Structure 1
């Protein structure tokens, strides 16, 4: 009969990079204390990485030794496991959409769930709570645009929306327009004005 630690490691090897392991998934093999101890030993031995309370991942072995899984893969796995949207922060979205040159040093994501901090090797990744209207469009480009506008704020909305109209695909732009009623008034008005300009050929 294989040991508890061996069962945990065997399961971890079946997961893709960034796949999440949680002690409560192994309670059918042993009591809680034994499972927690097994995870703790595996983390201290470097066979698992504890990224947050009750969440572990397997390190990735490469040419230069072991490293933490890619942030995006871990975030995707957590989102899938928790059945929640976890999306780019407004600052990161604004940068990727070309609305700002600022680059955030710290990786930040937003979710409708509870906030948490992940420790991925030496890097800290923050998942912050955001209001529903910011994540209602999920991880789509239109959703990124909403979060980017929220981060830029009302004073920069007209200029930012004008730029979004030119850089978004027609489909993403239409999604943004159709979502106006769910957005703060200042953002909805800025999008509405730009939509009128587009219809008039400006």
Structure 2
């Protein structure tokens, strides 16, 4: 059975940075208990990192030593593996769009799936469940997340800036989302379109 850990390590090293491994992928090579034990031992020895229940990543080796993979890469790989949509938080969206100078200290992502906390090296990443209207993976979706984070009062001050920053096609996409957005947000976008 010593070939099982070797196979897991070879597989982990053949993957791009941040790619997520699950014991389920290796059940054809041994019993569930043997596979779980192999992953547990590899994590204890530092050859793999357990990011959450049943999910592991390989540490990245460089000439400066070993480090945890980039959190964004891990989150994206996890989204692909679970077929969920994962996007930046409203705070990060507002910062990316220039609507706030605040830079989020904690890394928070929004998902269409279940909420979870990932431990990637020393960093703790929050993935929070959000309604479908908040996780659209586009510039218009980023605008929606930014407005939701800013709230109704602050969004009034930022909607003109947001309109200028979005391309015409993304503004049109934002306009088409109004029916599924909170009423205050849909009305605000409509008013801005009339005044533009």
TM-score (norm 1): 0.94
- The Cα offsets for residues 171-198 of structure 1, whole Å up to 9 and x where unpaired, read as 1111101111110110001100111112
CA deviation profile, 1:124-180 (whole Å, cap 9, x unmatched): 000001111111x2x211111101100110111222211111111111111101111
**Aligned residue number for residue 111 of structure 2:** 111
Tell me the residue number matched to 2:39. 39
- 1:12 positional shift: 0.9
Which residues in structure 2 correspond to 1:17-166 (within 5 Å)? Answer: 17-135=17-135, 137=136, 139-166=137-164
User: 1:123 deviation in Å?
Assistant: 0.5
In 2, Cα distance between the equivalents of 1:194 and 1:175? Answer: 14
Structure-1 separation of matches of 2:88 and 2:129: 12
Measured in 2, the distance between the counterparts of 1:163 and 1:63 equals 44
Structure 2: how far apart are the matches of 1:142 and 1:84?
19
Q: Mind listing any 5+ residue stretches in structure 1 that lack a counterpart?
A: none
In the alignment, which residue of structure 2 is the partner of 1:177? 175
Distance, in Å, in 2 between the alignment partners of 1:134 and 1:155 is 19
| Aligned counterparts of 1:158 and 1:180: Cα–Cα separation in 2 | 16
Q: Structure 1, residues 98-135: CA drift from partner, whole Å, max 9, x if none?
A: 11111111100001111001111111000001111111
TM-score, with length taken from structure 2: 0.97
Q: Deviations over 1:57-79 (max 9, x none)?
A: 01101122111111111111011
**Following TM superposition, where does structure 1 have runs of at least 4 consecutive aligned residues deviating by more than 3 angstroms?**
none
**d(CA) in 2 for partners of 1:183 and 1:9?**
46
- The size of the alignment, in residue pairs, is 196
Alpha-carbon distance between aligned partners in 1 of 2:161 and 2:180, rounded to the nearest angstrom: 21
Distance of 2:78 and 2:66 partners within structure 1 = 21
Task: Give how far 1:2 is off.
Answer: 6.7
Question: What's 2:184 paired with?
Answer: 186
